[in-house]
Structure 1
Amino acid sequence: MCGRFNVTDDPYMHALLDSLGVNLGRLPIRTSNDIAPTDTVSIVVSNGKETVLKDACWWLLMHHEDGRIRPLTKYASFNTRSDKLNVKGSAGFDAFRKTRCIIPASGFVETQQGNAYAMDPVGSAIAFGGLFRHWIDGTTGQEVLSCSIVTLPPHPKIAPYHAKSMPLILPLNPEVQRKWLDCPAANVGELEEMLSPQLPLPISVTPIEKASVRNAIGESVHLAAD
């Protein structure tokens, strides 16, 4: 995944959040046509009783700098590779077991050989499988959350647009999505089946000007769901 996605406040996004039991009255979802690494995004987390929206920095690894919590940009951590989730000492090892989240999106961008493609779901929003971590800001004493999107090897249908990886797109099944959020650490092996390349929803692929400019420059291609 190249590092760009977008969030639109539309019926598809509301349907996804409703299926997760999120009450939008508490914290409106953040919207943007161009979300980039280190931006603040909305994530869905579970506290064991309810699912809620939280703000998080789209960059998993943070550090103290001038008394504040800031992204540790020495290491790229806006994505977490699935093959690192079970490697002790990796950035995502503990988070995969204890603090998983869903990152709602309306679409994302992939790039290949200098070309950029808008990947837009047909008739739904996207639930990215993600991880998050807690930090305490040394200046304000406030909790800060950070997050990353789990990435998988590319699905054969995605590979022509990005041959290295694809984001973990959770199926449009509230039970599966809740399992991603709530599965206890002792049973984390049950999530392994989600970590194989899959395309659980249809995707419209459109060539665009560049990753940060979603102006169409070609005809769209339809990728059917598995």
Structure 2
Amino acid sequence: MCGRYVLKSTPQRLREQFGIAGPDAAHSEEWRPRYNIAPSQVAPVVRMREGQRHLDLLRWGLVPSWTKDPTIGNRLINARSETVAEKPAFRAAFKTRRCIVPADGFFEWQQQPSGKQPFYIHRKDDALLAMAGLWEHWTSPDGDSVQTFTILTTEANVWMRTLHDRMPVMLGAEQVAPWLDPGRKAEDLRGMLRPLGDGELEAYPVAKAVGNVRNDRPEVVEKLR
């Protein structure tokens, strides 16, 4: 699964990599470098609105439009790519509300004799990760609304299995446009939902302080000496 991730890149870098055209979340007071993004928190996603790519702030943990209980989002931070087209919570969003969740890297915990050791995982070339996501819009009976997202996961590649049996779906540059296109049939995109190649990522151990969501600072991604 993916339960914590990092987005420390500047808005300009995101605009350039993802071709952001419209007004974006960088103008919000909530925008800042993040080193320990956790479920239920607000974070940027790339999605299509009015024919353009926008960078919008949504809450992590998908709340389906039909639910009466918005706390369900606490359990829907990830969607298994193998069943995303069939699960009631995700199938509508998978058809037309796909997004990209940008990240510099993410964390996973490995069980060791001394306890669970967190690792920071990122691309070897330090390029941004384009994690495949879905988004939803939910409105309460009182008229309050919230927009939320989830991150798709897939089985781990051989390299990743030393740390975890799942990993985020990470899209290549040529896959971003079709994934974001609401007119593209979801069934035609299933081939994208596979593990990243074994030689693309690297990992190193970090301090266990990352386990506390209040520790959202550069030190949590520093390599243990």
Over 3 Å counting, the alpha-carbon distance change for 1:107 and 1:90 in structure 2 is: same
Structure 1 stretches of 5 or more lacking a match? 219-226
So what's the TM-score if we normalise by structure 2? Answer: 0.80
Please state if 1:117 is matched with 2:124. Answer: no
Q: Distance in 2 between matches of 1:207 and 1:36?
A: 19
Structure with more helix by fraction: 2
1:101 aligns with 2:99: yes
Residues 68-147 of structure 1 correspond to what in structure 2 (within 5 A)?
A: 70-72=70-72, 76-87=75-86, 89-113=87-111, 114-121=116-123, 122-139=125-142, 141-147=143-149
Whether contact under 8 Å (1:131, 1:149) holds in the other structure is yes
Rounded to whole Å, the distance in 2 between the matches of 1:126 and 1:203 is: 10
Confirm whether residue 170 of structure 1 aligns to residue 171 of structure 2: yes
SS of 2:150's equivalent in the other structure is: strand
Aligned to 1:223: none
Work out the CA distance in 1 between the residues paired with 2:43 and 2:88: 23
Which residue of structure 2 aligns with residue 217 of structure 1?
Answer: 224
Letter of the aligned partner of 1:157 in structure 2? W
Deviation at 1:95, TM superposition (A): 0.9
Give the aligned partner of residue 180 of structure 1. Answer: 179
Counterpart Cα distance in 2 of 1:48 and 1:188: 20
Task: Decide whether aligned partners of structure 1 residues 120 and 102 sit closer, same or farther in structure 2, where only a CA change above 3 A counts.
Answer: same
Would you say the 8 A contact 1:132–1:146 is kept in 2? yes
Distance verdict in 2 for CA 1:148–1:162, change over 3 Å: same
- TM-score for both structures, normalised by structure 1: 0.80
Give, in angstroms, the shift of residue 151 of structure 1: 0.2
1:14, 1:201 → 2: CA distance?
Answer: 28
Query: Aligned to 1:198, what secondary structure does the other structure show?
Result: coil
In 2, Cα distance between equivalents of 1:26 and 1:184: 22
- Matches of 2:98 and 2:32 in 1, distance apart? 19
Percentage of identical aligned residues: 26
RMSD: 2.5
- Unpaired runs of at least 5, structure 2: 212-219
| Aligned amino acid, residue 137 of structure 2 | H
Structure holding more strand per residue: 1
Distance of aligned partners of 1:79 and 1:30 in 2 relative to their CA distance in 1, 3 Å threshold: farther
Aligned pair in 2 of structure 1 residues 128, 25: CA closer, same or farther (>3 Å)?
Answer: same
Tell me how far apart the structure 2 counterparts of residues 200 and 102 of structure 1 sit (CA, whole Å): 21
1:158-216 C-alpha deviation (Å, 9 max, x unpaired):
111112x0001111x2x41010010536x222211111212388323111122434342
For the residue of structure 2 that corresponds to 1:159, the secondary structure is helix
Aligned length: 205
Query: 1-side partners of 2:161 and 2:19: how far apart?
Result: 34
Greater Cα shift, 20-29 or 37-46: 20-29
